[in-house]
Amino acid sequence: MDFVTDLRTKAARERAWLIGDQNWMRQWLLERASAAHGSKLETKSQFGATCLAIAAAHAPDLVRKAISLHYLTEPRVPRGSGEESGRWTRLAGDVPGLGHNQGPPLDEKPKIPSRRPDKSEHRTESVKRALRFLRLRGAGALLSLIQASPWLAEYQADILAAHVAPDTLENLQADGSKPAAGYERHHIVEQTPAEKDGFSRAQIDSPENLVRIPRIIHRDISAWYSTGNPDYGGNSPRDYLRGKTWEERRSVGLQALRLFGVLKP
Amino acid sequence: MSRNPLSSLSAEQLRERFIGIAMEQGDALLGGATRTFNRLYGQMREIELELKSRPSDQRSVLLTLLDHPNLAVRWKAALATAAISPQAAREALESVARSGEMPIAGHAGMNLHNLVTGFAKPT
């Protein structure tokens, strides 16, 4: 791509980001990926890191694809170099624009087992610690965790989905019935208690009541509904809401989405 | 009538138990173990009630936990002392909610919302 074309593309890119045109961003990233594949190793690596930063900042749903590109383009130790063969030559942390990503000091890394824990509870705990680390240190730090604990890659989509910024209710509802890796369909008014209390499935499953949210946060919100809470006399919020109106259930559901970081305030 | 085993413990001992339970609850939330959390909720409630029943309401021994390094301890101490020190407890809840450390920050945020709106009435 020559300089003039790139300039026009840059102006078009900024416009696309301003108006949230994710289709344009997606096309641009894919076209640049094709161009980079024929380039020198240093260009490929810089391109991979740049994609990661841009995707994280402007197109969160493309972060997973950007990380895959980064895997492909990051320089590795050549074959035949003993134990180090095939490993990335540096921590995958040099991502411009995401803060100090030179790789965190080892004593700040969360303790995550290198082998996949047998118990679901321990896996969940590790995944949430990895998510927290991602939020503190950026995408490069997450890559370093995955490198040390390869089983975490199975949860990469979940972790990245939970890292996105809060969105509007309209956008969350628009995606309500569209499946996506790392996301789950969530009923703002919990479906099972509402059905038991006589609300119709039509109302429960209406687009107004459905949003698509990150799986990790979905589980956290469900746990909040299930746990004893002094605000509700020691009962769980779910038990408190039995017999309550649809409006009160919806109000609580929306507030939970806000305070668990999914819905914009 | 059986004697409450907690009644033989000093306030300081109850405080230490409170810390341990709070930390376990934090771990339970992190691991998605809601049954464990709820079992511990009952144990913590017994400690709070025991302290409350003592002369001058000794839940005050929990106030120093509002600055504890563990997020879950700060959160639970704020809830346990909201009736005796509303302002300090509310500030502690705000701090926990602002930390963004999920899921505890989410729980604390909901508690704070309920306090601010007057829905929650600590006793």
Q: CA B84 to CA B11: how far, in whole Å?
A: 16
What average pLDDT does the segment A92-101 reach? 34
The backbone torsions φ and ψ at residue A118, rounded to the nearest 5 degrees and listed phi first, read -75, -35
DSSP bridge partners of A184: A213
pLDDT score, position A136:
87
What average pLDDT does the segment A86-92 reach? 47
Q: CA A225 to CA B29: how far, in whole Å?
A: 12
When comparing pLDDT for A145 and A72, which is higher?
A145
- Give me the interface pTM, i.e. the ipTM: 0.95
pLDDT score, position A79:
59
* Residue whose tokens read 């009952």: B42
3-class secondary structure, A214: strand
User: CB neighbours of B92 closer than 8 A, spacing ≥ 6?
Assistant: B66, B74, B75, B77, B78
Residue B32: which of A131, A223, A229 has the nearest Cβ?
A223
What average pLDDT does the segment B77-102 reach? 96
Contact A231 B119 (CB under 8 A): yes
Instruction: Flag whether pLDDT at A71 surpasses 50.
Output: no
When comparing pLDDT for A4 and A265, which is higher?
A265
- Number of other CB atoms surrounding residue A22 within 10 Å: 15
Instruction: Flag whether pLDDT at A96 surpasses 60.
Output: no
* Residue whose tokens read 């509870």: A121
Name every chain A residue with its beta carbon within 8 A of the beta carbon of B46: none
A137-151, A190-204, A222-236: range with lowest mean pLDDT: A137-151
Instruction: Flag whether pLDDT at A139 surpasses 70.
Output: yes
User: B106 touching A, CB under 8 A?
Assistant: yes
- Mean pLDDT (chain B, rounded): 96
Name every chain B residue with its beta carbon within 8 A of the beta carbon of A220: 29, 32, 102-103, 106
Provide the token pair at B66: 């509002």
Contact B106 A220 (CB under 8 A): yes
Report the residue of chain B nearest A133, measured CA to CA. B101
Nearest CA to CA, how far is B28 from chain A (Å)?
8
Q: CA B18 to CA B16: how far, in whole Å?
A: 5
- Taking CB atoms and an 8 Å cut-off, how many pairs form between chains A and B? 80
Distance of CA A50 to the CA centre of its chain: 18
pTM score: 0.74
User: CB neighbours of A232 closer than 8 A, spacing ≥ 6?
Assistant: A239, A240
- Calculate Rg over the CA atoms of chain B: 14
pLDDT score, position A4:
47
